[in-house]
Copies of this chain bind each other. A is one copy, B any other.
């Protein structure tokens, strides 16, 4: 029998709420609904435990993980009527590069350190990676900060036989993949794209942070869809959406004789669910690599990431 995967997590936001509640949900219901891969290297969804968690907010530090995930600004919904205490008390996380040794000590015995804090704190992200390396714990960077695509750092993980997974998690069902799929279908059928746009609205704290850095995001989105005929509207932060993301697409094309083809689409999805549905796979890939003694970047993670090693920093 395989030992459960032990996960330490940095950040107790919506994505961690979705992961932690989902683990309880699947254990309690026995369901496989919404699960991409029931097993990875023999590890089921129910074989993963969160054993340590770090956060910065005074309101969360010291609380039980199963209580902290419901504190604001988190707004991911409650998946189960009742959630028994986890026994994991939230520890205070890092605010800069100081404290690597403390973190390394705290995560000893874990298989994986899942870095799930907001993007944009590269110094801190790197400090956590150093702590994972020191403790010989696999490290997963879900943010857009350059960690796994820093080749010097990756070389050190590889040399030490410790897995390093990143960067920038691709959502389980994101708007880019859907938009790309539709545009590709049009092209395969011989239609000519005239114009297309996408509007993204969301209500999470993550979304609010993205809105602040909208121009960057807009550009990366364009790349993600891969057509200069596609316009991205500015992101809209709408608190009433809570943890939902809503996207509107329009595609205008031409068929035989130049006649019009138009397609309008609305997608509504819980953003943190899209993250958790991928994190559960990254955690199992990293843990399996570590147990197999494979250090560095596990190639099987590539399709789950937006900026894997080799992407321009």
Give chain A's interface residues, CB within 8 Å of chain B: 18, 21-22, 25-26, 29, 31-37, 77, 79, 172-173, 177-178, 181-182, 185-186, 189-192, 195-197, 199, 201, 211, 229, 231, 233-236, 238-241, 246, 248, 250, 253-270, 273-274, 276-277, 280
Contact = CB atoms under 8 A, between A and B. Distances in A.
A71 to B, nearest CB: 19
B267 A263 contact: yes
A201 B266 contact: no
A257 B192 contact: no
Given A256-B277, A257-B276, A192 B34 contact: yes
B79 A190 contact: no
A34 B191 contact: yes
A34 B255 contact: yes
A201 B233 contact: yes
A238 B231 CA distance: 6
Contact of A197 (B31, B182, B238, B263): B238
Chain A, interface SS category: mixed
Contacts of A276: 256-257
B197 A257 contact: no
B257 A79 contact: yes
Report copies per complex. 4
A241 to B, nearest CB: 8
A196 to B, nearest CB: 8
A235 B240 CA distance: 18
B201 A189 contact: no
Contacts of A259: 18, 34, 77, 79, 269-270, 273
B33 A254 contact: yes
B231 A240 contact: yes
A29 B239 CA distance: 26
Given A185-B178, A263-B265, A31 B190 contact: no
Given A185-B177, A238-B231, A33 B199 contact: no
Contact of A236 (B172, B177, B234, B263): B234
A236 B34 CA distance: 29
A134 to B, nearest CB: 32
Contacts of A256: 18, 22, 34-35, 172, 270, 273-274, 276-277, 280
28 contacts: A18-B257, A18-B259, A21-B257, A25-B257, A26-B257, A34-B192, A34-B256, A34-B259, A79-B259, A172-B190, A172-B256, A177-B185, A196-B240, A231-B240, A248-B266, A255-B273, A255-B274, A256-B276, A256-B280, A260-B270, A261-B268, A261-B270, A261-B273, A262-B267, A262-B268, A263-B265, A263-B267, A263-B268
